[in-house]
């Protein structure tokens, strides 16, 4: 894979680079970033297990309580 100078600058500065592969959104990350994430998640977790763990965490931390839906659009411009 050959990166443009702009892409090289982004991944060197931020450690990650959003890319699209055959219409699928992906993120290219530096090895040091990948290793930190892998150590947090463990290598044996499937995508479904990670999704379920995130869902349980959100529920256990009260993100499904009434009124929390306001955070679904937090930071987005609100209609006047």
Is residue 34 classed exposed, middle or buried when 0-12, 13-18 and 19+ CB atoms within 10 A define those classes?
middle
The domain locations on the chain are 5-63
pLDDT digits (tens, 9 = 90+) for 36-80: 877 777 667 777 887 788 778 777 777 777 776 777 776 667 666
pLDDT at 22: 92
71 to each of 12, 65, 68, 74, how far by Cα in Å? 31, 11, 6, 5
What three-state secondary structure class fits 39? Answer: helix
pLDDT one-digit tens code per residue, 3-39: 899 999 998 898 889 989 898 888 888 888 888 877 7
Tell me, what's the pLDDT at 47? 75
pTM above 0.85, yes or no: no
Residue 18 class from Cβ within 10 Å (0-12 exposed, 13-18 middle, 19+ buried)? Answer: exposed
């Amino acid at each position: 894979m050959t990166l443009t100078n702009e892409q090289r600058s982004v991944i060197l500065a931020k450690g990650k680079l959003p890319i699209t592969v055959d219409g699928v959104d992906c993120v290219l990350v530096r090895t040091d970033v990948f290793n930190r994430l892998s150590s947090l998640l463990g290598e044996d977790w499937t995508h479904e297990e990670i999704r379920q763990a995130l869902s349980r965490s959100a529920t256990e931390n009260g993100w499904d309580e009434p009124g929390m839906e306001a955070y679904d659009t937090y930071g987005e411009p609100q209609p006047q």
